Amino acid sequence: MPSELATPYKSGAQRTRVVSEAWGEENLYCSNCTSDRLQRLPTNTPALDFMCPKCNSLYQLKSQRHRFTSRINDAAYEKMHAAILERRTPNILALHYDAARWTVQNLILVPSFAFSVSCLEKRKALRASAERAGWVGCNILLSNIPMDARIAVVIEGGATNPRVVREQYKRLQPLEKLRIEARGWTLDVLNIVRGMGREEFALAEVYAHEAGLARLHPENRHVRDKIRQQLQFLRKMGFVEFLGGGVYRLM
């Protein structure tokens, strides 16, 4: 990474932003099309850092010196919540770098259409003594985003082939056409079956998560019907295969 760009700055956040965005301008590419570069947006553009010059896909870069494990710190809760409901969420790039050597260690891409309100966590309001007293931020809960939607662009310093990244992105794109509420159901059910940790599973095992899904979707009283519906959709997308007798296999 171009660490020399950090020299004029004292703030750790500013140093990280300047260096990581410069690296991104030189190395990032579009996952939605064949463009081998992304255009850097003006510094003050709210919640956006890059745009594809070919297909206009939008990206936000989140960088930190520690691994992204369970959460990604994001902006104001209400704004992110509204962005999801209004389909304005950008593609998120979560970059983990080595602060001593200024090298990129890991980079995860979460497509814009892989977000649902169930992956948002509201943070506590800032104290009265804070400069922005009462402000409420949010976290993106990676644990509520299926592994399929956490696309590895860089793993332990090694870059994934762009063709593989684009194939994984394209595989998820049917989600983009769904209504937000339906998308949330699909992602939540996929997350459950991935979380089982084995290739084959029974419909009854998914039913066992009925209470948790009911809490995530309190407006729907027919949870089991929705589970079967989402498993059908996941079959069409090629994520699961129906073996018969209420048994499925993850692809």
Q: What is the pLDDT of residue 131?
A: 83
Question: CA 134, CA 62: separation in Å to the nearest integer?
Answer: 24
Give the start-end residues of each E strand in 137-226. Answer: 137-141, 151-155, 158-159, 200-202
**Residue-level length of the chain:** 251
pLDDT tens track of the chain, all 251 residues? 999 999 999 999 999 999 999 999 999 999 999 999 999 999 878 889 999 999 999 999 999 999 998 899 888 999 999 999 998 999 999 999 999 999 999 999 999 999 998 899 999 999 988 888 899 999 999 989 999 999 999 999 999 999 999 999 999 999 998 888 889 999 999 999 999 989 999 999 999 999 999 998 888 889 999 999 999 999 999 999 999 999 999 98
**Cβ burial 69-83 (10 Å sphere, 16+ → b, else e):** eeebebebbeebeeb
Q: Is 189 exposed, middle or buried (0-12, 13-18, 19+ CB in 10 A)?
A: buried
DSSP string of 94-113, one letter each residue:
EEEEETTTTEEEEEEEE-GG
Q: What is the pLDDT of residue 230?
A: 95
pLDDT digits (tens, 9 = 90+) for 121-136: 999 999 988 888 899 9
Query: Which amino acid is located at 244 in the chain?
Result: G
Q: What is the pLDDT of residue 31?
A: 98
Question: CA 20, CA 13: separation in Å to the nearest integer?
Answer: 11
Question: CA 133, CA 137: separation in Å to the nearest integer?
Answer: 12
Alpha carbon 82 to chain centroid, angstroms: 16
The helix (run of H) or strand (run of E) holding residue 90 is none
The residues facing 125 across adjacent strands are none
Q: Which domains does the chain have, with CATH numbers?
A: 3-173 (3.40.210.30), 181-250 (1.10.10.10)
Q: What is the pLDDT of residue 226?
A: 95
pLDDT digits (tens, 9 = 90+) for 39-92: 999 987 888 999 999 999 999 999 999 999 889 988 899 999 999 999 899 999
Q: What is the pLDDT of residue 129?
A: 86
Question: CA 76, CA 138: separation in Å to the nearest integer?
Answer: 6
